Amino acid sequence: MNRFLFPALLAATALLLTACPQTSPPPVNPSECPVGPLEVQGEEPLRLQGFGQFAGEYVPGELLVLPKAGFSVQAWQAEGVEPLEALPRGLLRVKVPPGQEKARAQALLRAGAQYVQPNYIYRPLRVPNDPYYLGQKAYLNGLVGLEAAWDHSTGRDCPPLIAILDTGILPHEDVRESLYLPQAEKLDVADDDTDPTDRTDSPGHGLMVASVLGADTNNNLGMAGVTWGGYILPVKIFKDGATVTFTADITKGVNLARTLGARVINLSIGARNVSDPVLENAISQAQASGAVVVAAAGNDGGYGVHFPASLPSVIAVGAVDNAKVRARFSTYGPELDLVAPGVNVVGAGSGGGYAQGSGTSFASPVVAGVVALYMSKYASERRVWPTPDQVYQCLTGTAEDLGTQGRDHEYGFGLVRADRVMTDTTYCFP
């Protein structure tokens, strides 16, 4: 009987993030600090030439122009250009007919401008107010680019149903509002009952995975999830207190997720040297119904991605550290698709606290969360869900290439980049 091992996917023991006294930094010696006013340097002339890229979002009917010496405002007015404001370093903000920005920029170059570009629009990046986000920021934003992604979608517009097949979900105040618990449904497929909560001592694996993906976010409490709290469907595929699960229970879980309409299924489980047609068939059925399946690559650090992540239709996720280097425990091979942060990841812990853990178990829900953000934005804009093939093309096409150029065995297509996913017009929003 093939057993799907759970403990091996938790590469490092969770460390509780308690409030510990910290050593104070050494006092600053004023004699070693610069004093006095800033030394103001003379302004260097702008050396820009030609015109900028007319892409992204910019103010309709406005341009920023750097004129050559001896320019004539009258000549520009003949081109339908009206000066609005003088800016530092010789720039001018001008008004042109909306919709004709690029054409007028080219006309201005002919009429004596040195450089022209749009007046681009910038927006404040969304930063959640959860206290532990400061500890998550280095990998969630520094690696994955989530703050820019959240500015486009936090997953709450047309949120897809996200099924997490794992150990039972433990009670936690920061993973409560985002749960979807349909009445009378047997969400505990292993013990055949409606309660997906572990009722015996549990390492809290399912809770931590769920919180990484979709903790209740921007609630002034605890941590941030990749999504800001959508519809997370916890499906318990481990019996109470068990550390292994089996083909039969995982298959029941996948089938339940499919029948309840899950659009994303996360499997932070795996087994080496397994070929499991029964489970493969259940996953294929779920994908045919429109579900995207994301799975952890494995944590033995060896060659050959674990099953079911090794299936061609499943998005296989490995782990990197904050330096974008493959974690020593992260299993690799030709089946690997993407990598995501998986070292010292913050998550909700048993007993109501918070913990740090390392493993591809926690890299997988980062990718599943980005999938959910993309699906939410796509569906809200286009009123249709993207297909699993579209999702795969989007995430792999926008990944940050790491390691050997192109797809390789250690990093797959590269590091998942939520910021690129939300704005790409080639692979994601053609």
Residues serving a catalytic function are: 166, 205, 361
Give the C-alpha distances (Å, rounded to integers) separating 191 from 24, 146, 172, 236, 242: 51, 37, 22, 8, 11
Rounded to an integer, what distance in angstroms lies between the CA atom of residue 109 and that of residue 66? 10
Structure tokens at 3: 């057993």
Rounded to an integer, what distance in angstroms lies between the CA atom of residue 324 and that of residue 137? 15
Give the C-alpha distances (Å, rounded to integers) separating 230 from 54, 139, 223, 329: 35, 21, 15, 30
Cβ–Cβ under 8 Å, residues 181 and 251: no
Name residue 342's amino acid: G
What is residue 88's DSSP assignment?
Answer: G
Look at strands 338-341 and 315-320 and give their pairing.
parallel
Cβ–Cβ under 8 Å, residues 256 and 187: yes
Cβ–Cβ under 8 Å, residues 420 and 397: no
Rounded to an integer, what distance in angstroms lies between the CA atom of residue 416 and that of residue 284? 24
Which residues face 296 on adjacent strands?
A: 317
Cβ–Cβ under 8 Å, residues 198 and 237: no
Please name which of 222, 255, 261, 253 lies closest in space to residue 237, comparing C-alpha atoms: 253
Cβ–Cβ under 8 Å, residues 268 and 361: yes
Which sign does the torsion angle of CA 151, 153, 157, 162 carry? negative
Q: What is the DSSP string of 93-148?
A: EEE--TT-HHHHHHHHHHTTEEEEEEEE---PPP----TTHHHHHHHHTTTT-HHH
The residues near 393 (Cβ < 8 Å, ≥ 6 apart) are 427
Q: What is the DSSP string of 176-191?
A: STTB---TT---BTTT
Structure tokens at 13: 């023991």
Residue where the block lists tokens 């920023």: 64
Phi/psi of residue 367, nearest 5 degrees:
-65, -45
